[in-house]
Structure 1
Amino acid sequence: MTVQVVVTGTDTGIGKTVFAAGLAGLLDGFYWKPVQSGLDEETDSEVVARLSDLPSGRVLPEGYRLKRPLSPHRSAELDGVAIEAAKLSLPELPGPLIIEGAGGLMVPLNRQTRFIDVFQKWQLPVVLCARTALGTINHTLLSLEALRTRSIPLLGIAFIGEEMADTQRTIAEMGKVRVLGRLPRLDPLTPEALCAAMRAAFSAADFMEIPQ
């Protein structure tokens, strides 16, 4: 069976897209962002295409492209678009697929549906990206609880940022969750640096497992 992994985060702007780019490269797979809000600056798909060094065609077209950098539900309303979660069907591909959500789990797609509702329907293994900075313990433990309440398969946590040993240990112990690795902030952020950092911090085999 082809591996399909959802990459989500505890919040917006934590480095989830950079991690998704690195993971797509690590697994030599495909990348898909179902809903993109904000088109004036570089989109997440464009970031992944630039950083992952994947062959042409491995970054799939978004299901919805919305103009304003707002929550998808509001951006869609302002664009006169109705996001239909049922139409976000999973593509069939010949290799691993990395699917990136928008922001955190509770981000609304429309006035009735949140991303976590779609993830629950898909029942795909989830990687939860969490920053290491102050505030992450609360956000991460809440996100873990939300995933487990809905019986969504969880591969583990991917930390992003500088090492905060006690914070990471606290989340692992109190959240009873596996830590997959930690991606440091990279400067400069280049495809080569991201590839090297991912290979140093993560094992591709960990993302090929099916959570019990």
Structure 2
Amino acid sequence: MNYIVTAIDTDAGKTIVTGLLAKYMLDKGDDVISMKMAQTGCVERSDDIEMHRKIMDMPWQDLDEDGTSCPYLFPFPASPHLSAQMVDTEINPAKIKTAYQTLQKQYSNVLLEGVGGLMVPLNPRTLLVDFIKELNAPVILVTSGRLGSINHTLLSLEVLKSKGIPLYGIIYNHYPVSDPLITKDSAKIIKQHLLCYYPDALWGEVPELNTSNKGLQLENWFV
């Protein structure tokens, strides 16, 4: 099974979530690999793929070295379309899709991490959400309890629903730590609206943690 891990915004925790989900699947005996559509603010190697492999207890792979697991790397830390422009190029979604299909032929499960939020432009003509629809895989949406997450999450649900994109579930990330009152209330409101938009979608929570998954009961993530 393949999933696209996206988020309500940048720095919501989708890299950690992708790595932890992949590790969980590996520990169950599943054949799985992770992938990143594109990454900005780094050169030579994708920092996010390196984080995936660290969490997965997996060494750097040949498919990482040749760029299959992250087809685009840009040094300028900005939206991918702008970072591409800074080096006089443009992201071609077909290149990402080809890499994704290559991994699908080699692995039974592919976890594809997105970039930023759903409305981020990959290039001047293609929004991330439209590319996700083209890939035709269920989405795992990462959100958090930080102030503003209710608005960002409900807008994300609205966009996914309007595009007819299936949602497997929401993962509520407790990092960064927020006021407990805000965290509790945000989770309550988001759960209520999730039932309206996607009544069969699952709900999961990730406690505050570091880059290790030691002691985290991943089988209890989704309920």
TM-score, length basis structure 1:
0.85
Q: Which amino acid aligns with 1:30?
A: I
Unaligned 5+ segments in structure 1 are 207-212
Task: Kindly indicate whether residue 188 of structure 2 is the aligned counterpart of residue 169 of structure 1.
Answer: yes
Query: Which of the numbers 158, 161, 168 marks the counterpart of 1:155?
Result: 168
1:117-162: CA deviations, max 9, x gaps?
Answer: 1001111000000011221111100000000100011101100015
Q: Does 2:37 align with 1:34?
A: yes
Q: Deviations over 1:1-55 (max 9, x none)?
A: xx11000000111111111110111112200002111116971111111222135
Residue 43 (structure 1) aligned with residue 43 (structure 2): no
Question: Structure 2: any 5+ residue segments left out of the alignment?
Answer: 27-31
Which residue of structure 2 lines up, in the alignment, with residue 210 of structure 1? none
> Secondary structure at the residue paired with 1:124?
coil
Query: What secondary structure is seen at the aligned counterpart in 1 of 2:190?
Result: helix
Shift of 1:168: 1.1
Computed over aligned residues only, the root mean square deviation of the Cα atoms, in angstroms, reads: 2.1
User: How far apart, in 1, do the equivalents of 2:168 and 2:206 lie?
Assistant: 16
Partner in structure 1 of residue 212 of structure 2: 191
Partner secondary structure for residue 155 of structure 1? strand
The one-letter amino acid paired with 1:39 is C
- Residue 136 of structure 1 is matched in structure 2 by 149
Q: Structure 1: how far apart are the matches of 2:117 and 2:220?
A: 23
d(CA) in 2 for partners of 1:113, 1:198 = 38
Specify the SS of the correspondent of 1:129: strand
Change (3 A) 1:165 1:26: same
| Counterparts of 1:127 and 1:116, CA distance in 2 | 13
CA contact (8 A) 1:66 1:75 kept: yes
Partners in 2 of 1:200 and 1:88 — Cα distance?
A: 30
Deviation at 1:179, TM superposition (A): 4.1
| Paired residues, number | 198
State how far apart, in whole Å, the 2-side matches of 1:74 and 1:20 are: 25
Map residues 87-166 of structure 1 onto 2, 5 A cutoff. 87-89=95-97, 90-91=100-101, 92=104, 93-161=106-174, 164-166=183-185
Q: How does 1:48-67 map onto structure 2 within 5 Å?
A: 48-54=52-58, 56-57=60-61, 60-67=68-75
1:83 and 1:199 map into 2 onto residues whose CA distance is 34
Runs of 4+ with >3 A deviation: none
Q: Secondary structure at the match of 2:121?
A: coil
1:78 aligns with 2:59: no
Quick one: percent identity of the two aligned structures?
32
- The alpha carbon displacement at 1:166 in A equals 2.9
* TM-score between both structures, scaled by the size of structure 2: 0.81
Structure with a larger share of its residues in helix: 2
